[in-house]
Amino acid sequence: MNQQEEQLKQLVREKYAQIATQSKTQNETSACGCGSCGDSTIDYSIMADDYSNLQGYEAAADLGLGCGLPTEFAHIKAGDTVVDLGSGAGNDCFVARALTGAEGKVIGIDMTEKMIELARQNAQKLGFENVFFHLGDIDAMPLEAAIADVVVSNCVLNLVPNKTKVLSETYRILKKGGHFSISDIVLEGELPNGLQKEAEMYAGCVSGAIQKSDYLRIIAETGFQNISIQKEKVIQLPDALLSQFLDKEALAAFKSSSMGIYSITVYAEK
């Protein structure tokens, strides 16, 4: 790992250690979703989807940090072993546990000690003996090969400098015939100069996003098959922000095009 990658990972680790001490409301109304902690301009709620109607939802584990509902689309069956990449306080793990049942197994991986502590506390309160949380990097997972039937992840890969490593590790831990469902932030088209940086300050989770075509290409190059986008939604940026970089005519053209920032949920099989 090069020095720049390690520095970026350390910044994310420090940021999410702070997030672990905040409530969902605080995270949605401060910059500690994905942007720079301390800047109050971020409206993180435009990223998140509502988990509250899903079976297994545990409010104490929902820090409002996602950009999709991957567990809803993951085709998890009773008895499955599910691995959640960047498991945070355990939100997706507990939803997955409701689907895999007591006979299954759910494993969360996170690189932030405070998140692991919080997730383990939540699992203990719920009395789950088949949900486990491991401290580790998702580009070098502390798991043996071919352990998982399903892998899920929610708005995490965009935070990782080397997405190829993460997807290679995902491929390694999946059983043959296993699959993943991952929600993430991607870009469509080249954003106007300066807009991506301002979008990061407004909505967070954008700086590490790559082009959707590149994202899907990396998945295919890793060896995954039957790749499909299960859900896609545009991240709506306000006209007041866009008009700083676009005149009236260019703004209209931008809004009528497919260019922009998207949350996608991607499915693929090993």
Per residue in 146-155, pLDDT tens? 999 999 999 8
- What whole-number percentage of the chain has pLDDT above 90? 51
Cα distance between residue 111 and residue 138, in whole Å: 8
Work out the pLDDT band at 13, boundaries 50, 70, 90. Answer: low
Higher pLDDT, 53 or 35: 53
**For residue 230, is it within any domain?**
yes
Cα distance between residue 270 and residue 263, in whole Å: 23
3-state secondary structure of 113: helix
**Structural domain range at position 134:** 3-238+258-269
pTM of the model: 0.84
Here the tokens at position 63 are 């820090």
Distances (CA, A) of 216 to 1, 182, 184: 23, 12, 12
**For residue 243, is it within any domain?**
no
First to last CA, the chain: 26
Helix (H) or strand (E) holding 93: helix 91-100
Q: What is the pLDDT of residues 192-251, one digit of tens each?
A: 777 777 776 666 667 678 999 999 999 999 999 999 999 999 988 888 888 888 888 888
**For residue 84, is it within any domain?**
yes
The answer for residues whose C-beta is within 8 angstroms of residue 52's C-beta and 6 or more apart is 59, 62
CB atoms within 10 A of CB 4: 9
Instruction: State the average pLDDT over residues 101-121.
Output: 94
Number of domains in the chain: 1
Cα distance between residue 16 and residue 53, in whole Å: 26
CA 171 from centre of chain? 17
Distances (CA, A) of 30 to 16, 18, 27, 85, 209: 13, 12, 5, 24, 20
**For residue 229, is it within any domain?**
yes
**For residue 92, is it within any domain?**
yes
Residue 198, domain CATH? 3.40.50.150
Here the tokens at position 74 are 């993951």
Higher pLDDT, 131 or 22: 131
**For residue 173, is it within any domain?**
yes
**For residue 246, is it within any domain?**
no
CA 125 from centre of chain? 25
